[in-house]
Amino acid sequence: MAHGQWQVFGLAGRPAARPRLVEGRDRMKARLTLVGALLAVTACTTGPTLENQGTVTAPPGDSKHLTIGTAGFTESDLLAQMYALLLNHAGYRTKILSVTNRELYEPALEAGQIDVVPEYAATFADWLNAKANGPDAPAVGSPDLATTMSALRTLAAPRGLTVLDPGKAVDQNAFAVTAAYAREHKLKTLSDLGAAKLPVRLAAGDECVQRPYCEPGLKKTYGIDITAVDPKGVGTTQSKQAVQNGQDQMVLTTTTDATLDAFGLVLLADDRHLQNADYIVPVVNRSRAGSEGVTRALGALNTVLTTADLASLNQQVDSWRRLPKDVAKDYLVSKGLLRP
């Protein structure tokens, strides 16, 4: 996602939200009413008690009126808009509800107050695992997509949720250096950087010193000499500027960061697969949206959407100030999934 300055990033999980401007008091009032309703729902529907309500054993549902959830940041908004447009095209009526906290929207998804959400495979697997087995439960997300999807589906099924197939797009932690630095030292991968034995000061969040996918992983997996972590945040403007001006040599960002070119930065490939498989996956309420019709409509996106596409779409919203709905529609039309 185009994470920018707002990002408080998920080395421990995806961000819950991006702060958003709201146009007018009526929209804010409506949103507060909806969130209040979801709070009431989650008070009585959290956890595996849904098994007793028949949502797990019921046949896949095919409601023609579907609510699509978004976590409120650019990438989530774009994905929700694409889901809505594809479902509309398939004959469903949809509305989009922005709920910026997974602690709210996931129980609402279980309860059928929300029918579809875009999620991230490894992060959502770990989140459901912690919810089921406690915050200290060993992580189940991994760099291997098949392993991650198996764990995710096992955790989701008892909650009445169905995880649809992932596509090509993945949004995971990534590391960038300046293009000039990469050329000078002939770097294309993180393995190249480790082999170069260069001292590297890393711009990242302060938690990077402890997270296995950050400083410890870079040292253990790639042999990179991290001399210090500069705590300027993950993918923030300040972090990228620190690398751009040479204060730091590398920045922690994400694979769909749309601003790297503006700072003269390039990603180094995670060629030994240190990062978890955070592929984009639609998650649906089985009893309301588990039908073949929904699966087929949303699966069409898997045939076209790539990580590079997603970065470009994020850029159009964040840098060009286009509306997510317009960007989503133009993209789907350009790929032949919608009529002009």
The pLDDT score that the predictor gives to residue 34 is 52
Cα gap 287→62, rounded to integer Å? 8
Helix (H, G, I), strand (E, B) or coil at 45: helix
Percent of the chain residues past pLDDT 90, beyond the cut: 75
**Residue-wise DSSP of 122-158:** HHHHHHHHHHHH-TTSPP---S-HHHHHHHHHHHHGG
The pLDDT score that the predictor gives to residue 63 is 93
Cα gap 135→129, rounded to integer Å? 8
Question: How does residue 56 score in pLDDT terms, banded at 50, 70 and 90?
Answer: low
The pLDDT score that the predictor gives to residue 255 is 95
Within 13 Å and on the Cβ side, how many CA atoms surround 131? 19
Cα gap 116→59, rounded to integer Å? 17
The pLDDT score that the predictor gives to residue 8 is 33
Q: 137 pLDDT exceeds 60?
A: yes
Tell me if 155 sits within 8 A of 128, measured CB to CB.
Answer: yes
The better pLDDT of the pair 149, 40 is held by 149
Q: Could you tell me the pTM of the whole model?
A: 0.80
pLDDT digits (tens, 9 = 90+) for 77-106: 999 999 999 999 999 999 999 997 888 999
The better pLDDT of the pair 260, 6 is held by 260
Average confidence (pLDDT) over 313-338: 96
Average confidence (pLDDT) over 305-314: 96
Question: How does residue 123 score in pLDDT terms, banded at 50, 70 and 90?
Answer: very high
Residues whose CB is less than 8 angstroms from the CB of residue 81 and which lie 6 or more positions away in sequence, other chains included: 96, 324, 325, 327, 328, 329
The better pLDDT of the pair 51, 115 is held by 115
Q: 245 pLDDT exceeds 60?
A: yes
Scanning 134-280, the segments in alpha helix (DSSP H) are 145-156, 179-185, 190-196, 215-222, 237-244
